[in-house]
Amino acid sequence: MLTGQANTEQAADSVLSKSKLTLIVAQCIVACILSQSAILLWFGFSVQTSIIDSTISICLLGIACYLIANNLQYYRPEKNGYLLMLLYCSILASLWLLVNNYTLDKLILNDPHYSEFLYNSLPIRFFIGLLILASTAFGWVYAMKHIKLATLGVVYSVSTVLLLAFVGVIFFQESLNPYEIGGIVLAVASLILLSAFS
């Protein structure tokens, strides 16, 4: 009877942690879509083009990150295996870029400057995709060894708030009132406290 209760508690904990993780990933995807849309708007593209580009790019990149995280549940690289993991990330980034550009080229036809922009941004998109995929892979391996999920959730939430405040101030010329500045200072202080006591 006692083992059945322990298994039920473990199942409840794993469902709770999966739901928290799903929420964190969803927030991250929305923050990335908003950030990339803001950058494309800043480059002078229409709202529709910016939203389509950022949504397709980030969702496909999210799928690639999911593939890496799912594969790393069963594979823990040894010291010499990190190069193989980086090669895997490079191949996945290339595949993401190929599918992403093909899809965007077919979807966005009404903007004459977009095709040229898409072609010229290939190297930047590749390296950003590789950076995100590699940080997902190496971060997953590091985080699961050393950091609690609750701490990861707080770090992610505070990072999202700081990123969105940065995008608002830089790209949309929003001003911050003293209360918002105080909140940002407290958010940074919470990260410092978490890193000091983790």
Task: Write out pLDDT tens, residues 75-120.
Answer: 666 666 677 778 888 999 999 999 999 998 888 877 778 888 888 8
Amino acid at 125: R
Q: Which residues of 165-176 are buried (b: 16+ CB within 10 A; e: fewer)?
A: bebbeeeeeeee
Query: How much is the pTM?
Result: 0.62
Distances (CA, A) of 194 to 59, 116, 146, 151: 30, 45, 13, 7
Query: Cα Rg for the chain, rounded, in angstroms?
Result: 20
pLDDT value at residue 8 = 42
- The full 3-state SS of 23-36, as one line of letters, equals HHHHHHHHHHHHHH
State which H helix or E strand residue 98 sits in: helix 82-107
Greatest Cα pair distance in the chain: 68
CB atoms within 10 A of CB 180: 14
pLDDT tens over the chain, length 198 residues: 444 444 444 444 444 455 666 676 777 788 888 888 888 888 888 888 889 999 999 889 888 888 887 777 666 666 666 777 788 889 999 999 999 999 988 888 777 788 888 888 888 889 888 888 888 787 767 766 666 766 766 776 777 777 777 777 776 778 888 998 898 888 888 877 876 766
Separation CA 120–CA 99 (nearest Å): 16
Quote the tokens at residue 103. Answer: 């899809």
- The full 3-state SS of 149-193, as one line of letters, equals HHHHHHHHHHHHHHHHHHHHHHHCCCCCCHHHHHHHHHHHHHHHH
pLDDT value at residue 99 = 92
Provide the 8-state DSSP code for 110.
S
